[in-house]
Chains A and B, each alone.
Chain A
Amino acid sequence: MAKITFIEHTGKAHTVEIAVGKSVMQAAVDNNVPGIDADCGGECACATCHVYVEPEWLSKTGLPEAGSQEASMLSFAAVTQTDSRLSCQITMTPELDGLVVRMPEGQH
């Protein structure tokens, strides 16, 4: 199991546990964390599981590759930043134990 902290737009934090190998989006859905809609169920097809990765974790999560499906989806997400990711595309690894992500004000 690995820990992830989701910080809502309001600043409210939710720390949850998820099995290694599952996605960051799944951790939010399984624990009913508000602010991740995940409309398409994790298929990288809707951009409603958008998060901002905290700076100290960016080197471990990485950024979407230029020209990838994720980058293309993100270009239509609400209020993207340079640290934007789709959480369905971040798979939990032991190295990501303790990951902190923030959520945008809305997913639509």
Chain B
Amino acid sequence: MSDTLQRVVIAGAGHAGGSVAAMLRQLGWQGAIVMVGDEPIHPYQRPPLSKAWLTGEASADSLALRPAAFYETANIDLRLSTTVTAIDRETKSVTLGTGETLGYDYLILATGARARKLDLPGIGLRGVLELRTAADADQLKSALGPGKKLGVIGGGYIGLEAAASAIGLGAAATIIEREPRVLARVACQTLSDFFESYHRAKGVTIEVSAGVAGLEGVDGQVTGVRLTDGRLVPADAVLVGVGAMPNQEIAQAAGIACDGGIVVDLQTRTSDTAIFAIGDCTKRPLPLYDRTMRLESVPNALEQAKQAASVICGRPAPAPEVPWFWSDQYDLRLQIAGIPFDATQIVVRGDIAAGRFALFHLADDGLVRAVEAVNASTEFMGGRRIIARGKRLSADKIRDMAVTMQELAA
């Protein structure tokens, strides 16, 4: 580069990208920041897209990570509606979709994940939707309303949240799940059972162990989902929510180590020391669990944004946090601290029937690995602390509501 001013280029303007740009300025980064995002709008929060945004309770303003004026004030050069298409590690430069070439001192890959596609007959019909972006959410929103029918392929968080929002808007919803229970990949049986009965009581139809043969339509517009057992689930719109894939292709093409995600360390460095990666696109170490994995969550994006900004500004990266997740459905707030790796026992604290409880996942020796809390934020907060400290607890003590969470976590 021609002058002494250093430049950070951020590939991706989602929650991770938008946050790392702001944190770099918070930590005093004086150099240039260029952020490149494929969507036409400023960085925004995705979690409300399946919830408050769908039901009309959130405004575009409240969705934005920061007000539009912030980027100008903070001197962040935002390039929207384009992407980084290639990385040249030799010359430390990237090529944009516009053809422009930009040099970098540090490159942060915050490229996110994209919806997994299903290869099914009729998948290209109008009204077959996915839910990753605000544009996706607007399409879904326009397909919902009183009397409408939503088909949901995939009983994961996106599917359950969208079904809850659809019901809230007066539409009918049918969830079609391949596994014998919803949330099969991400929650325990007890929690799956709880959410299944809650959704059914709200009027959602749930088909488990159900295969999809294809989508059917009239004049190019979807009209239903054909199951492998021959039944047809009628639908005015079909949401496909069957997981996400990391956007790692530009890293891979540049010879950066990838393994089901861009491989990073606890400083968010990739195999190239000038290139960092943060958020959904990364495969990261989880020292608490002695594993590496991809975490698709806002808390992970924020944690890694802090790590990258700190390291680039010459500060030590903050210590790794206990992973956590949340999901809102109807009047239920699910908060999960930790991941139940190596857990062999589940202890219930609270009252499942009353919809206010926490499931503690313990290893053989009583080590708390994860806490799944439904309308029980205190149990969630206490659980994070207990997991971070590597505490062992007895099942009797956890069950005893006379023992406060503060005492359990002390």
Contact = CB atoms under 8 A, between A and B. Distances in A.
Interface of A: 29-34, 37, 39-41, 44-45, 47, 69, 72-73, 75-76, 108
Chain B interface bracket (under 10, 10 to 19, 20 to 34, 35 or more): 20 to 34
B378 A72 contact: yes
Contact of A108 (B47, B318, B333, B406): B318
B106 to A, nearest CB: 19
A108 B307 CA distance: 13
A41 B45 CA distance: 9
Interface string B105-148: 00000000000000000000000000000000000000000000
Q: Chain A interface secondary structure, helix, strand, loop or mixed?
A: loop
B381 A76 contact: yes
B321 A73 contact: no
B197 interface: no
A65 to B, nearest CB: 15
Contacts of B381: 47, 72-73, 75-76
Interface in B309-344: 318-319, 321, 326, 333, 335
A108 B321 contact: yes
B7 interface: no
Contacts, number: 49
Contact of B409 (A29, A31, A33, A76): A76
A107 B276 CA distance: 24
B271 interface: no
B25 A30 contact: no
A31 B67 CA distance: 9
Nearest to A108: B321
Contacts of B70: 30-32
Contacts of A47: 381
Interface in B24-63: 25-27, 45, 47
Contacts of B319: 108
A47 B384 CA distance: 12
Choose among A31, A73, A108 the residue with the greatest number of B CB atoms under 10 Å from its CB.
A108
A34 B377 contact: no
Interface of B: 22, 25-27, 45, 47, 66-67, 70, 74, 298-299, 302, 318-319, 321, 326, 333, 335, 377-378, 380-382, 384-385, 406, 409
Contacts of A37: 302
Given A34-B26, A45-B333, A73 B377 contact: yes
Contacts of B22: 32
A32 B26 contact: yes
Contacts of A39: 298-299, 302
Choose among A29, A75, A76, A108 the residue with the greatest number of B CB atoms under 10 Å from its CB.
A76
Contact of A40 (B67, B326, B378): B326
A73 B409 CA distance: 13
A83 B318 CA distance: 26
A69 B377 contact: yes
A30 B67 contact: yes
B66 A30 contact: yes
Contacts of B67: 30
A73 B384 CA distance: 12
A39 B337 CA distance: 14
Given A39-B298, A40-B326, A72-B377, A29 B66 contact: yes
